[in-house]
Amino acid sequence: MEEVCEGKDFSFPSQEEHILSYWSDIDAFKGQLARTQNLPEYIFYDGPPFATGLPHYGHILAGTIKDIVTRFQSMTGHHVTRRFGWDCHGLPVENEIDRKLGIKRRDQILEMGIDKYNEECRSIVTRYVEEWETIITRTGRWIDFKNDYKTMDLKFMESVWWVFAQLYQKGLIYKGFKVMPYSTGCKTPLSNFEAGENYKLVPDPEIMVAFPIVGDPDNAAFVAWTTTPWTLPSNLALCVNANFVYVKVRNKYSGKIYVVAESRLSELPTEKPKPNAANGPSGDSKKSKSKGSSGEKTKDSAADSFEVLEKFSGASLVGKKYEPLFNYFLEFSDAAFRVIADNYVTDDSGTGIVHCAPAFGEDDYRVCIGNQIINKGENLIVAVDDDGCFTGKITDFSGCYVKDADKDIIEALKAKGRLVKQGTFTHSYPFCWRSDTPLIYRAVPSWFVRVEQLKEQLLDNNKQTYWVPDYVKDKRFHNWLENARDWAISRSRFWGTPIPVWVSEDGEEVIVMDSVEKLERLSGAKVFDLHRHNIDHITVPSSRGPEFGVLRRIDDVFDCWFYTLMVLSTALFGKPAFRNLICNGLVLAEDGKKMSKRLKNYPSPMEVINDYGADALRLYLINSPVVRAETLRFKKDGVFGVVKDVFLPWYNAYRFLVQNAKRLEYEGSAPFVPIAVAVIQKSSNVLDQWINSATQSLVHFVREEMDAYRLYTVVPYLLKFLDNLTNIYVRFNRKRLKGRTGEEDCRMALSTLYNVLLTSCKVMAPFTPFFTEVLYQNMRKICDGAEESIHYCSFPQEEGKRGERIEESVARMMKIIDLARNIRERHNKPLKTPLREMVVVHPDEDFLGDIVGKLREYVLEELNIRSLVTCKDTLKYASIRAEPDFSVLGKRLGKAMGAVAKEIKAMSQEDILALTKAGEVTIATHCLKLTDIKLVREFKHPDGMTDKEMDAAGDGDVLVVLDIRPDESLFEAGVAREVVNRIQKSRKKAGLEPTDMVEVYFESLDEDKSVIQQVLNSQENYIKDAIGSPLLSSDIMPLHAVVLSEEIFHGIYNMSFKISLVRPALVFKENSILALYAGNSKFAQGLQIYLLSRDHSCLKSEFQLGRGKIKVDCIENLPAVEVKLGEHVFLTVGDYYLTERKSH
């Protein structure tokens, strides 16, 4: 393996760019497909985006989810074809062209020609294809752009024709009306998206209108409220809420009798008697100047003006007939002008009675169809033309623009005595984004699919699918299907797939084309493109004979969306369109608003990728609420958090492996080659056993969660795993990994770490394709037969049994270590300060056995504690009391809660211990579980001790007690730890790698040097093991030594000293070298100069290969000699010092 840099110098974005180049060089994606071509197919649909804009975080999120799933499926034995697609048709494209060409009206398009308009649309649909490919590839997604599909391709459009023809043959297609936002300025309907682009706060008239009830004994009238008086001439019904209470009231002064919802009575205009006529009826009702029907109340209450005559439910009003306002639609009298009911009627505004004009309101149309006021599929009279003016049907206002007609209509109602109240209502109203004229809702002809007819099949097919998260399927989507309405599939537009319906002039003959071949056969024309301007001129002769003329295509194009896959599959094949579906939420800006280029409230995706890398962005998105169908407020700092919390610890563990594998080679051992996995699994080291088991648990968990498509659970589990790997396995095994416990043990530890990192890289490859490839490419160099790319590897299999018991044991150890660290922090006792004793209190023998068994030494060393004691008596160091959990018991016990709570609080220590063993207890005839009761433990000091001498921490399960009294006998160990700590920091500051050999010299700067010298003598072995070489006195530093770093420290246990890091220096035995040359000092000096000029590590290797000796025969004019270590020269001052000390 090659050496690697420090984490702070590792550029994740730059490394990702290198990996992209590598993938390109080996054609990695194509290679993966070739390797899996004979495996079972995994079917994947990729809904196409528009290429008229650049990718945003929503696209990257969806692409990341798709990439993770398909990579995982490929690694688990599937062939996954992935083709990119482009949505080329529809309003977004037309809108861009309209802006570009300044088109405001439909007739402008017809004037320029549909052919020219459509070709303009075609010219921009692939505008950003190159940018999309660059950005999507940069995010790490593997998908085929070369064999992409486009919705404007002939074959794709022909497939849409085929689907429509199949639906038509099944009787699932009909022509009807759809109420849509309509621009009178542009003479065209708009999408709901377009309608939402230009809202303005405007005043509109609000009026209450009386509808006399036919046959009512009191001559009462229903009162309805509206802010669109122009729709009243087309009124066909009144709608109430069946669940509301309605009242019949009489005005005390005018005698008029009205019916309104009881909760809205206060909205009726109040009146006062005229002067001198206190008890007589008043004249006309007073005009209201209220802000709106749900706005300010008049000063006089309705109770003062109205007398309630009768109350009844909304349901009882259904079917009652009323007198129409105008006589324009009297031909509908049999079915119309009656009361219907629906829950869309609310009581937060108006009168609780809504007037319905089915041609001008979506809910109006729906409820009138549902109550047979009008019939679905039959002609609907739309009394407003394309310019927004009344047709001749509305004789009194014919030719008048509807918004301008409001005043005249109000005056006509007043003249008829139907106006109850008049005012102005200020509200937010949609305007056309192109013509800036107010939109109206208007019924337009449309082709429909009979979805309502398929409802039961849809609900049954939905049950057969698997969704993540499941509540979207069971609630949101289920409810949508439950209330599914027929699907309008056509638009009166230009750039789209034309509806393949050819109709005769008399409307009696209809032909539906299902293919290009059929159109060519019936028309005799050649067809090369299916867009309107290429086929609208094609006619088909009537099968009834030439006298019936020809059939021509209707004007409409399809308006299709991919969420209808379930509808189409159910209608065509009777089965679900998919088995598994992941539903994601919306990515918003950090301020919670929609991401906006204008507001500049979010960083661009490429900015984030260039700063932190694509892998970090991928994990940030996948580990967010957005994968659970919730919203995400995107924060760039959150992506940096992934780098800091996930990738840097992961990288540092990998770097530690590489450094210590290289160290083995530097020290002259055989190159590191990982031990076979089967051998590693049998390691006797407890932490090897534990991390191997934890790795198998990672494999098991990720496979299980990915099989269930729960991507969002993986990152939290990985975080915990990496934390365990770096802060437990690597940290607690540093001596083994650095070779301080022998070469054989070192190789076992390094092999274990290698296997863990390699396995975790394979597990995480679908999630972080770049980083895992970086690590894999270096690690595979010491693994024979390794694949070219980690993405060619299979997903790891579980090897052997998982050691759940050992994982539990280490978890217990870490719990105890964390509790002890908390105590140290509370008392400002750093880990470098040794403590005398720790007591672990727990009633379970197995728990205590875990701590004092194989893990004991790790606990003592990590916590720097001299003695570890266990205790089963939970009352020796703590008192325990019981408290009722009111949040759990309150609802369950009700009135009995007080008595039960009293008895729980009165439980003795023995009662509580019995409860912990049995798991339940009966109090006042109520059986309570351990989870119903809170156990509160309070530490009690042994006699004569204070909390400054002994303290404890617990988590409700285990109690840890620390003796924190100062102990002179531990002073020397504490000083030694501080010295080692300063040496390690000096190494890091000097930029030294762990494999860089240096010698460390120590010099006391105190007047009394005896104290520190005593410490160094007593702690010599500890310091040597910790720094890898003896700590040398500065007195014996050779003159030719090269000093790399010197640093002075003050105030360490009230001592001052200097640490010097020096390159390893040769030490010569002068007399022995002189003897090599028979006393010739000139020759002896020449040999020393030659040896000092050599690279130290190379010289060391030569001595190791020569088993402690080398032959020197390359010095001019000097005879060849054999130089031996320990006899003529020492490689380091430390070697010389230790040898000389042994000899004395």
The residue with tokens 């040898």 is: 1139
The model's pLDDT over 956-966, given as tens digits with 9 standing for 90+, comes to 788 999 999 88
Other beta carbons within 10 angstroms of residue 524's beta carbon come to: 11
Q: The tokens of 268 are what?
A: 């009726």
Q: The tokens of 721 are what?
A: 């795993």
Amino acid (1-letter code) at residue 54: L
**Burial track 1047-1081 (b if 16+ CB lie within 10 A, e otherwise):** eebeebeebebebbbbebbbbbeeeebbebbeeee
644 occurs within a structural domain: no
Amino acid (1-letter code) at residue 651: Y
- The neighbouring-strand residues paired with 502 are 511, 553
Amino acid (1-letter code) at residue 745: D
Q: Using the 3D structure, point to which of 1006, 1035, 1062 is the last residue of a domain.
A: 1062
Dihedral, 48, 50, 53, 57 alpha carbons, nearest 10 = -30
Amino acid (1-letter code) at residue 22: Y
67 occurs within a structural domain: yes
Same domain? For 213 and 361 the reply is yes
Q: Using the 3D structure, point to which of 1028, 1062, 1096 is the last residue of a domain.
A: 1062
Same domain? For 1094 and 1122 the reply is yes
Q: The tokens of 569 are what?
A: 């599959």
Same domain? For 36 and 96 the reply is yes
Residue among 433, 571, 551 nearest 489 (CA): 571
Same domain? For 251 and 372 the reply is yes
CB of 135 within 8 A of CB of 605? yes
C-alpha 540/C-alpha 510 separation (Å) is 10
**Burial track 715-748 (b if 16+ CB lie within 10 A, e otherwise):** beebbebbebbbebbbebbebbbbbebeeebbbb
Same domain? For 215 and 95 the reply is no
647 occurs within a structural domain: no
Q: The tokens of 676 are what?
A: 């076979």
The residue with tokens 């990998």 is: 654
949 occurs within a structural domain: no
Angle between helices 129-138 and 605-612 (to 10 degrees): 30
C-alpha 325/C-alpha 413 separation (Å) is 8
Other beta carbons within 10 angstroms of residue 784's beta carbon come to: 6
Same domain? For 226 and 302 the reply is yes
Angle between helices 565-573 and 154-169 (to 10 degrees): 60
The residue with tokens 């209707």 is: 554
Same domain? For 1054 and 1130 the reply is no
Q: H/E element holding 846?
A: helix 845-852
Same domain? For 39 and 71 the reply is yes
Residue among 494, 490, 514 nearest 502 (CA): 514
Same domain? For 153 and 52 the reply is yes
Q: Using the 3D structure, point to which of 1017, 1044, 1062 is the last residue of a domain.
A: 1062
Number of H helices, E strands in the chain: 42, 41
The model's pLDDT over 283-313, given as tens digits with 9 standing for 90+, comes to 333 333 333 444 444 445 666 789 999 999 9
C-alpha 1010/C-alpha 865 separation (Å) is 26
1129 occurs within a structural domain: yes
Compute the radius of gyration of the chain from its Cα atoms.
43
Residue among 65, 60, 101, 1112 nearest 583 (CA): 65
Same domain? For 301 and 415 the reply is yes
Residue among 238, 169, 172 nearest 208 (CA): 238
Per-10-residue mean pLDDT, the chain, length 1144: 83 96 97 96 86 88 95 97 90 86 86 95 90 95 93 94 95 89 84 79 95 96 96 97 96 93 91 50 34 42 82 96 96 94 93 96 94 85 92 94 95 95 91 88 89 92 91 86 83 90 92 96 95 95 92 85 75 91 89 82 94 97 91 94 94 94 80 91 93 94 94 90 92 90 92 96 97 96 91 90 86 94 92 90 90 91 92 86 86 85 89 86 88 83 82 87 84 88 90 85 89 88 89 89 90 88 91 88 88 87 87 82 90 87 74
Count of structural domains, the chain: 5
Angle between helices 605-612 and 12-26 (to 10 degrees): 100
Amino acid (1-letter code) at residue 68: I
Amino acid (1-letter code) at residue 802: R
C-alpha 931/C-alpha 896 separation (Å) is 18
319 occurs within a structural domain: yes
Dihedral, 1045, 1047, 1052, 1054 alpha carbons, nearest 10 = 140
CB of 405 within 8 A of CB of 391? no
Other beta carbons within 10 angstroms of residue 935's beta carbon come to: 15
Q: The tokens of 757 are what?
A: 């990192």
C-alpha 674/C-alpha 680 separation (Å) is 9
Same domain? For 14 and 153 the reply is yes
Residue among 223, 205, 267 nearest 427 (CA): 205
C-alpha 314/C-alpha 343 separation (Å) is 11
Long-range interactions of 1136-1139: CB distance < 8 A, separation 24+: 1136/1067, 1137/1030, 1137/1032, 1137/1036, 1138/1030
The residue with tokens 């980690």 is: 790
Query: For residue 593, what is the domain's CATH number?
Result: 3.40.50.620
The set of residues, in sequence order, having a beta carbon less than 8 Å from that of 533 and lying 6+ positions away, is: 113, 114, 115, 118, 119
Bridging pattern class, strands 466-468 and 580-582: parallel
917 occurs within a structural domain: yes
Same domain? For 1078 and 1043 the reply is no
Length in residues, the chain: 1144
Per-residue model confidence (pLDDT) at position 1119 = 85
DSSP calls for 44-80? ---PPPPSSS---HHHHHHHHHHHHHHHHHHHTT-B-
Q: Is 509 helix (H, G, I), strand (E, B) or coil?
A: coil
- Phi, psi angles (nearest 5°) of residue 1126: 85, -20
- The neighbouring-strand residues paired with 167 are none
Q: What is the pTM (predicted TM-score) of this model?
A: 0.77
Domain membership of residue 293 as a residue range: 206-383+402-423
The residue with tokens 């809202």 is: 199
CB of 131 within 8 A of CB of 94? no
C-alpha 66/C-alpha 49 separation (Å) is 14
DSSP calls for 581-598? EE----EE-TTSSPP-TT
- The neighbouring-strand residues paired with 354 are 239
696 occurs within a structural domain: no
